[in-house]
Amino acid sequence: MTIAVYPGTFDPITNGHIHVVERAARIFDRVVVGVAGSTHKTPMFDLDTRVRLATESLEHVDNVEIRGFHTLLANFAQAVGARVLLRGLRAVADYEYELQLANLNKQLAPELESLFLTPVEHFSFISSTLVKEVARLDGEVEAFVPDPVGRALRTHFSRQR
């Protein structure tokens, strides 16, 4: 069984993330979406909420598991039995950073292979940061995120108004 880990903060998960997971689920026996309890970022949603939103957004994909983690990614991947680290590349600007991460993870866990998937064009500009900014300014985010995430964003920002 080939297991891939798709890690990220997913703050929040977007349709671009969902598309990458759906594609990966056709390639691998099992995909573990690893929701990072980030220490260097300040997520808008707490880890439990991000795991819940990812779970609700991906319930239609049978061979996907959502798990939060607070460890080194290489250790998390080894703990779930993964052989592949899956990353999405939206633009050339992502490549340098992702290459550094891939090389670091290869040093930490030589048995792990990094695989990069590019999004389809209509998802290539979507980022969690941009989605949060649109939602914060009371814009429509429904085209960019699954319904549970849209509701969570509206609720979050309506409390701040």
Residue 90 a catalytic site member: yes
User: What is the reported pLDDT for 44?
Assistant: 95
pTM beyond 0.75, yes or no: yes
- Active-site entry in 41, 158, 159, 161: 41
Using alpha carbons only, how large is the chain's radius of gyration in Å? Answer: 15
Q: What is the CATH number of domain 3-160?
A: 3.40.50.620
pLDDT per position as a tens digit, 90-128: 877 788 889 999 999 999 999 999 999 988 888 888 899
Token pair for residue 64? Answer: 């996907």
* H helix and E strand count, the chain: 6, 5
- State the DSSP code for 63: T
User: What is the reported pLDDT for 41?
Assistant: 78
List the domain boundaries for the chain.
3-160
pLDDT-derived band at 22 (thresholds 50, 70, 90) equals: very high
Runs of H (alpha helix) within the chain: 15-27, 47-57, 73-79, 92-108, 128-136, 147-160
Residue 30 a catalytic site member: no
- Active-site entry in 67, 90, 106, 151: 90
Q: Which region holds residue 10: left if phi is over 0, alpha if psi is between -120 and 50, else beta?
A: left
Q: Which of 8, 17, 12 is nearest to 155 (CA)?
A: 12
pLDDT per position as a tens digit, 123-142: 888 899 999 999 999 999 99
pLDDT-derived band at 55 (thresholds 50, 70, 90) equals: very high
- Active-site entry in 30, 50, 57, 128: 128
User: What is the reported pLDDT for 43?
Assistant: 93
Residue 40 a catalytic site member: no
pLDDT-derived band at 34 (thresholds 50, 70, 90) equals: very high
Percent of the chain with pLDDT over 90: 82
